[in-house]
Amino acid sequence: MRRPMAASAPNWLHVDTEDEVRPQLTTLSSCMTLSDVQCDGYVRLLAADISLDDAAEEPSATLKVFRGLKLKQEQPLPGIPTAIESLYIDESEPKTPVIAVAIAESVLFYRHLKPYFKYTIPAQDSEDLELEVWRKLPVMKQDAHPALLESLQNIDHAKLSRKSQRLLQLSEEEREAFITTHRDSAVGRGGSIVAMCCLKRISSDANPPSHLVLATDSGSVLILEPQGFNLVFEGKTCADETAVPSLISVQGTYETDFCIVVATRNGGVYLLRKTQSEGQEIFKLGTPLTGLLLLPIDQTIIASTMDNRYLCYSKRGKLLYQVPLQELPVCILPLPMTHLGLTLVAIALKGGVVKFYLQRYLVDEFALSETVDAMLYGRMGMEDHVLTLVTQSGDIVVKILRRVSRFDPKPGDLGNKRSGSDHSSIVDASILDKPKKSSIFVEQAAREKQQAKATYGSFQVELWRLRLTAARATIDAINSSESTISGDLTHAPVKLSAEVCGSGPAFRLYLTVQNLSTFKMASNLVVLLHADRRHYTVPQTLARLPSVLPGVPLRVDFEVVAVLDPMDKLPPASLSPDNSQIRVMLMKAGQAKPLIAAAVSMPQSEAAF
């Protein structure tokens, strides 16, 4: 049952449930996602419920699936997840999402909520001293082990492998059994995944296949392609090994260009691009960050810090504005509203207040009874704009955006921002008075003027990459349809046969189209011929076919003329059996992929004397 609450903001409708027992959830924003896991058009909430019960020996986690606010399915996880993402790995219909769960050094993929694939990040090379110690430990006497373990303690703890770290934690009585058990295991320094998000391959489709972006505690940034989950990009956050990533945000597409913004635990924020293998430091703060966003429209970087500030930077590291907050920001979330043409930023503060900002202006807010630990926004169920909040005690609060919602800056807040003289809030008034789009245009024009050669070269590279991608897609579509019988199950099966008559230079190509179905009619068919212009001329390359009835073959003919040398009236020397072919494609009107693609070998033409 849906009803507006008196205490809620007027732009949001509170979703209430009639169930007496409300579901409880302990999670983070990164461990929540929305997905159509059942492929029925109903988007469900998936979240990792992290159990921190003191009575248990160690923390555990469970993947829970909610239909609305009702728990429908749950599955135990082998560890505490870092992040959960829902992505599509192919374009086959019906599109089935895959759930990616990052745990320690692995990413577990679930399809139909069943284990599907496991990817483990590459292990790093261990120190030579550690390898030498593990080579000597199994063969030397127990009296020599303390000296070897003392040499292991001289190595930085973060550079040791996990089994060496575990060995140093054990007592003397347990070390001998541990060495015997793990004497043959590999000595590898494997990192852990600390952040994960999705990067779309292209932006034209509604649900395109997405690449997976991983950030590890060793500072590496990895990108996995969706088909085989292979590593296609590997970068480094920065040269400093002590900079451990904590937050990550991605914008763009893999096929064109993308930007990856990484925040580290020491307050540094770095930017990686497709053409860079190492991040560039944008800015560095003295306090840790609690949230990081890269907004899609104006490409500005939003950050919230533990000193109660809401900051906005450009990609060049220029502070555009900052807003002081009354309480500590717990989590931050972007709210893209395409129907309104804007993107809001939601900030959950300690104490239960959730504020919504449009750039630096406060446009909406509401308060809950306790602090919000996690937020998620997107399509849920049959509604497009749903905000899900999880409180500190585990309650799930769902709010739906009203159809007639408006987000206008408050008059008092707008006046204070423009007339205020507090430099801690506003850095430079000249920057704020100038429209942002005008500033971006002026900066871009000046950049292109200063780097004309590099800009033109980059444009040519992307243009040729686009042409190459289009050519590959065309070839793949044609090669996948090379058969004499159509394999598309959504249409009536059609068979194509060809016959060439004549001795040259004029030939007659007869095509016979036969409907193999017993009850379904094949309609809206088009025949397209493609030939090498250096060898053959086809006056009519396209023919629209009438409806083909079951059991009644349709015969259509084309004229093909061989190109001869005007001097000796013989075929050109470049003509060979490999290129003396005419490609025939049977297509359905309105579809780019052909139903049937076949190559017809042409006979040798006689001389025209």
Q: For the chain, how long is the longest CA-to-CA vector? A: 100
DSSP 131: H
Give the C-alpha separation, 370 to 392, whole Å: 7
**pLDDT tens-place string over residues 89-121:** 887 777 889 999 999 889 999 998 889 999 988
3-state class (DSSP) for residue 265: coil
DSSP code string of 338-363: TTTTEEEEEEEETTSEEEEEETTEEE
DSSP code string of 432-456: HHS-HHHHHHHHHHHHHHHTHHHHH
Q: What is the pLDDT of residue 204?
A: 58
Q: What is the pLDDT of residue 3?
A: 41
Q: What is the pLDDT of residue 241?
A: 73
Give the C-alpha separation, 500 to 511, whole Å: 9
CB 544 within 8 A of CB 573: no
Q: What is the pLDDT of residue 426?
A: 36
Give the C-alpha separation, 113 to 102, whole Å: 15
Q: What is the pLDDT of residue 601?
A: 81
Q: Specify the pairing of strand 81-87 against strand 98-103.
A: antiparallel
CB 606 within 8 A of CB 503: yes
Nearest Cα neighbor of 320 from 417, 407, 419 is 417
Long-range contacts of 493-497 (CB under 8 A, 24+ apart): 493/517, 494/522, 494/525, 494/548, 494/586, 494/595, 494/596, 496/584, 496/586, 496/596, 496/598
Q: Residue type at 55? A: A
Nearest Cα neighbor of 198 from 90, 84, 299 is 84
Enumerate residue ranges in the chain where pLDDT < 70: 1-9, 19-20, 54-57, 157-158, 190, 204-205, 410-438, 477-484, 486-490, 568-569, 573, 607-609
* Region of residue 142 (phi > 0: left; psi between -120 and 50: alpha; otherwise: beta): alpha
Give the C-alpha separation, 531 to 553, whole Å: 25
One CATH from 2.60.40.10, 2.60.40.1930, 2.60.40.1180, 3.90.1170.50 for 494-601: 2.60.40.10
Q: What is the pLDDT of residue 327?
A: 92
